[in-house]
Structure 1
């Protein structure tokens, strides 16, 4: 299944569409880009891990270009981008990493 994400603008109560996202994995202390994508109209990116890749244990990073979203909505955001770094454990098949966003803050968690 892989890795998925979604962004919800909690201050406006709606999904954050059109946000560029990059998934990377660290190997030998160097980050390697696995995929670039953009959130859909529902604020989701359902398949961040490339189809040909298998979810392997390791450290991954999702980079969200939040400045693009703020500019689209004439907002003055504090964070021009958000990076979430997380560890994938052995035997796991799917990770869902949501981003709850406002112009002045954000939070994340492991979803289902």
Structure 2
């Protein structure tokens, strides 16, 4: 089954990234078009796919994760001007028959991502 999903792991605390606001945009001609705004659940995942197989289109997308507010809410010493505030991951979808999973592993000072399954 195709679609788009994500999840967030808080690598600084070894827990799922619960309560993180995520926005998904479609990028067209350098313009951002908001498709979805959601918040991660207690497992660091979204309750539904960000895009279903019917909604998935070939093109460029951008995920934005509001991580500074998340770490502040956990008591991390994140200054007003955070080193990592909103983490933006821009990626392409080139096959609507495949599933795309874009996880975020994050701490207040680093992050990584990959194409998952």
Fold shared, TM-score > 0.5 on shorter chain: yes
Is residue 30 of structure 2 the alignment partner of residue 29 of structure 1? yes
User: Do 2:56 and 2:96's aligned partners in 1 also have CA atoms closer than 8 Å?
Assistant: no
Residues 1:38 and 2:39 are matched in the alignment: yes
Pick aligned residue for 2:49 from 47, 50, 69? 47
Q: Which runs of 5+ in 2 are unaligned?
A: none
How much has 1:53 moved relative to structure 2?
4.9
Q: Is the 8 A contact 1:61 1:85 kept in 2?
A: yes
Choose which of 93, 96, 112 in structure 1 pairs with 2:98: 93
The normalised TM-score by structure 2 is: 0.87
1:3–1:94 contact (8 Å) kept in structure 2: yes
User: Does structure 2 retain, via aligned residues, the 8 Å contact 1:55–1:93?
Assistant: no
Shift of 1:91: 3.8
SS of 1:68 mapped into structure 2: helix
Q: 4+ residue stretches of structure 1 with deviation over 3 A? A: none
Q: Secondary structure at the match of 2:116?
A: coil
| Structure 1: stretches of 5+ with no match in the other structure | none
- Do 2:68 and 2:108's aligned partners in 1 also have CA atoms closer than 8 Å? no
With normalisation by structure 1, the TM-score equals 0.90
